[in-house]
Chains A and B, each alone.
Chain A
């Protein structure tokens, strides 16, 4: 029997640990169950449909403006692949340049270690709060929960993250975390919750998006002006200069990266780019793929400490947390090219209907369906269900700015899930697949089975379409008819019309 799909390339792969499932997602139901629940939420479906279609159209428009878009995709993918093939060198170069520029570099094997490092750094500043720039890496490790457990308040400052945090909710999209909420829901959250943690929402707050944004501005400004410590992630970490790069829109990022005295950035080890000049490609790929803009309103770059300007104490936490286990799979590692643009979410017909929460992780949509089971392994029910949360329509690959072959990775992960169950008690599905494989192994067996099908056609008389199917096809016939079996298969017809005796 052939070898399982994982860790084919590397002898050392077996002792590289996956990430642990963080407490929020432990015991999550499988994708189909979560999706069913989401599908019943008509308001959310409406919000998601509107939002994904809007941003999809914007993206298509600005991508069409770039004549060499395909060349940029190829260049972006190639650059990321070069980084991944030589990651140790680039990480050491990054560390060296960061240190030289006055930053302190920390290394974290997993979420717990990263959280401990950040909590200790915050405690050393003797503060009880931090302001945060939206960051997937800190969500992944559940840093806010760790800070809270240490008595430190972490204030999310991105408008959507603020909505999610105040609503005691979870993000459902990488770029627009409150995509599942509409304006009137947001107004209610602001009115009910802002006053509990700071400046209350104005009494006359309406659901006009401009008024809601203004309420966020007022609420957060007092936090920005007094904050001593900020926590960020990064979009890119430039090895040859030691520069970190954060893209944003609202200015909350600039506030966090500029005003506090101490800045702590949690950086996944796959975020490295070899040279400053590589931004020439990535600063075209990311904004256009992400928000559908030619360029996002604000990008900040900083190289360690700038004397007299901005935070004078700068820390960078380099985070593994399962990334090296993804790297060990020579095909699967292309998921580490991901620049978290979320273009794949916005075109995905499954995400559009099921929403982000169904994916049981901070990474939803097509990239989440591959990245999460790669980072965490396929040991849990939810992680086993994620690779199947796709119709393999391929729209995600077409929009991916770094050409991640998501459909191919999904199939590969499905194979891994099946392989990991081989040898034990076979599931009903495995039994029927085995039986079907046996039948297809020889055309004479197939012909026998076909005789049973055509014989059954007599049971249905002139009906062309059937309403109810027996198990295991019952889930088909809840909303779909099925074709009645034909009286003659194609090969019977062929034999009759084209056979040697015909």
Chain B
């Protein structure tokens, strides 16, 4: 008896018919958008999905991070190992380094502050590739407040350009997390409720480079 693998491949080959003779047609290019408009769109659409969005200059990041955390009464905040230390300069809450914290330990921490790998304007999406300034996946999942600093240069106009830009991270074996607004459900009578299992508060700071 053949193995399942051989048998399925045999069935596939018997079923699939002739290979295609056409190469994929290119999607028509979208018109270029001006950078400022792309950033504006990102901020607008991200806010439309009930994330809190603010914009600032690069010099202002630490003040904005500190202000955001105090708004949410954060007492403890977990910090990825590679986060720019300057961003946390003004933060009063207790910094907890990610020292292989268990999920249960993370569950006792109020917030997390991270950078991002990329962002997509026309869907209001931030993408984490869980590099050193973002931390492993559990960090941005278990605590209830996520403050994410996105640099303007990281914002792509649309999904296809964002996807292409993320390819090297994927080829390097990195896991990605795409985040578009806070956790939400529409499972009860199609009424949207923010905040189920992921962070119930998503605070995005769009900062100049």
Contact = CB atoms under 8 A, between A and B. Distances in A.
Q: Do chains A and B make direct contact within the complex (CB under 8 angstroms)?
A: yes
A328 B138 CA distance: 43
A121 interface: no
Contact of A324 (B8, B193, B195): B8
Contact of A176 (B45, B138, B190): B190
Contact of A241 (B9, B159, B171, B183): B171
Nearest to A307: B173
B125 A295 contact: yes
A45 interface: no
A324 B179 CA distance: 35
Given A50-B190, A299-B177, A320 B184 contact: no
Contact of A258 (B19, B49, B138, B173): B138
Contacts of B104: 225
B17 A85 contact: yes
B189 A108 contact: no
Contact of A298 (B5, B11, B177): B177
B103 interface: yes
A12 B17 CA distance: 10
Given A109-B4, A176-B190, A280-B163, A252 B197 contact: yes
Contact of B180 (A241, A295, A306): A295
Nearest to B135: A309
Contacts of A308: 136
Interface in B135-154: 136-138, 141
Contact of A88 (B13, B138, B185): B13
Contacts of A78: 24-25
Nearest to A176: B187
A277 B3 CA distance: 33
Contact of B187 (A86, A108, A159, A306): A159
B137 A55 contact: no
Contacts of A243: 170
B68 to A, nearest CB: 20
Given A107-B3, A243-B170, A213 B185 contact: yes
Nearest to A87: B12
Interface residues of A, number: 103
Name the residue among B8, B16, B187 with the largest chain A CB count within 10 angstroms. B187
Nearest to B137: A258
Contacts of B27: 68, 71-72, 75, 281
A303 B173 contact: yes
B155 to A, nearest CB: 14
A489 interface: no
Interface string A209-249: 11011101100110011000000000000100101000001
Nearest to A55: B190
A194 interface: no
A224 B104 CA distance: 10
Contacts of B195: 210, 213-214, 217
A101 interface: yes
Contacts of B179: 297-298
Given A88-B13, A306-B174, A249 B184 contact: yes
Interface of B: 3-5, 7-20, 24-25, 27-28, 30, 45, 49, 103-104, 107, 120, 122-125, 130, 136-138, 141, 159-164, 166-167, 170-171, 173-191, 193, 195-199
Given A12-B11, A298-B177, 15 more contacts: A13-B14, A15-B14, A71-B27, A75-B25, A78-B24, A91-B8, A107-B5, A113-B4, A221-B107, A238-B170, A251-B197, A294-B45, A297-B182, A309-B138, A333-B15
27 contacts: A11-B14, A12-B10, A16-B14, A85-B16, A88-B12, A108-B4, A159-B188, A178-B188, A186-B188, A217-B197, A220-B197, A225-B103, A225-B107, A255-B197, A276-B166, A277-B164, A280-B161, A283-B163, A296-B180, A297-B183, A297-B184, A300-B137, A300-B178, A301-B176, A310-B137, A320-B8, A327-B12
Which 9 pairs of residues, A with B, have the shortest CB-CB distance? A12-B14, A251-B198, A280-B160, A251-B197, A295-B123, A328-B15, A324-B11, A250-B196, A299-B178
